[in-house]
Amino acid sequence: MKTVNLIRHAKSSWEDSRLSDVNRPLAPRGIKDCKIMAGHILEAGWNPVNVFCSRAQRAQLTIRGIAKALPYRDINWLIDDALYTFSYGSLINWLEQLDDEISEVTLVGHNPAFTDLVNHLSKARLDNVSTCAYVQMVSSAHVWAELLSSQTEMVHFVKPKMFK
């Protein structure tokens, strides 16, 4: 079985219109949501291993904020340029290339890729994976290349609005 965890970046700031999309930081609400969501993500079943993050500043600040809110956990992540994408197809291609020894992975990234990925792989029909939301999907695949042809179920979906 393979497990895919998704953490969408927290609410980003549009305050400085001179910044490129990749360089936008978090808004104050996004910073607060990281603190709010950290414990709830763990309670929902997140195992913070094999964590890969988009190169976007807002995604990096999200995983950093979640890790900071969980000081008793040793959470490490790698930045991967390929995860700065808005296409679920690109995410599927990325997942299919993973080493089959890895059974669980966490991606920190973007919409619409995350919403489309959940809806494409599972029977869930989410309208939106909102900012700082967490999704966990479990697949019957034994190797990552079988992800599309396997049975995949969304087993957890938590978002900040649930805790405010």
The pLDDT value given to residue 18: 86
Give which of 91, 122, 86 is closest to 107, Cα–Cα: 91
Q: Evaluate whether the domain defined by 2-12+22-155 bears CATH number 3.40.50.1240.
A: yes
- 36-64 pLDDT, tens digit each: 999 999 999 999 999 999 999 999 999 99
**Structural tokens at position 46:** 């997140």
Cβ(12)–Cβ(25) below 8 Å: yes
Cβ(129)–Cβ(104) below 8 Å: no
pLDDT at 164 over 80: no
**Structural tokens at position 154:** 């969304």
Cβ(36)–Cβ(11) below 8 Å: no
- 118-137 pLDDT, tens digit each: 999 999 999 999 999 999 99
Q: Say how far apart CA 35 and CA 82 lie, in whole Å.
A: 27
- Under the banding of pLDDT at 50, 70 and 90, the label for residue 19 is confident
Amino acid at 164: K
